[in-house]
Structure 1
């Protein structure tokens, strides 16, 4: 389920896949015309493990948030042999579009490669 600033994904456990219910809340911070940060709060449960993590990313690398979510899940001991938790484009396409709108992101905008590598 998506609404601006909020995404929820759920799936019951099945053979080879953990059950989960995860919520990703997000907002931007900084001047209204040029926000500088995307702030994320990932919380919920994966395979009966509680997840509650917050992180911020600079606007130019914020669209790489799925990598940071993967790191958060790994840090909490979630088995990541399958990348299915956040692979639903029907849910995430509107999220990317909303984040792009809130950050005033433009196609082709440059990314600080050093920052991307540091935050990856």
Structure 2
């Protein structure tokens, strides 16, 4: 199950077999300004994974904000979801809504120039 509202994605899955995984997560986000890197998105991933409480934050600069799923996957793996099941963004429709919301919040357009120093 997944639900989206601007600024927040909620994803939930209940294990159906002993080898399956469970999680109930909210990924909230907002535009913030970093003094050195400029505008970006502050993310907070909180809830539970495999019955373990999760409350993790991460910040991504504007140029890298679309890559939030990589950070979400890494956090999921740290909390015990096996690599082959760690792509918890399988609700593509909801991730698409989140991508569009982030694009609008950051006023990003296709072809915008990027600061390559943010990728070093």
If the TM-score is normalised by the length of the shorter chain, which range does it land in? 0.7 to 0.9
Counterpart CA distance in 2 for 1:96 and 1:69 is 14
Q: Which runs of 5+ in 1 are unaligned?
A: none
Match of 2:76 among 64, 73, 78: 73
Q: Are the counterparts in 2 of residues 36 and 58 from structure 1 also a CA contact under 8 Å?
A: yes
Residues 66 and 73 (structure 1 numbering): CA distance in 2 closer, same or farther, change over 3 Å? same
| Distance in structure 1 (CA, Å) of the matches to 2:83 and 2:52 | 13
Q: Name the CA shift for 1:107/1:96 in 2 (closer, same or farther; >3 Å).
A: same
TM-score under structure 1 length normalisation: 0.83
Q: Report the alpha carbon displacement of residue 114 of structure 1 after superposing the two structures with TM.
A: 5.3
RMSD across aligned C-alpha pairs, in angstroms?
2.1
* 8 A contact 1:39–1:54 mirrored in 2: yes
Q: Which runs of 5+ in 2 are unaligned?
A: none
Change (3 A) 1:95 1:106: same
CA contact (8 A) 2:49 2:79 kept: no
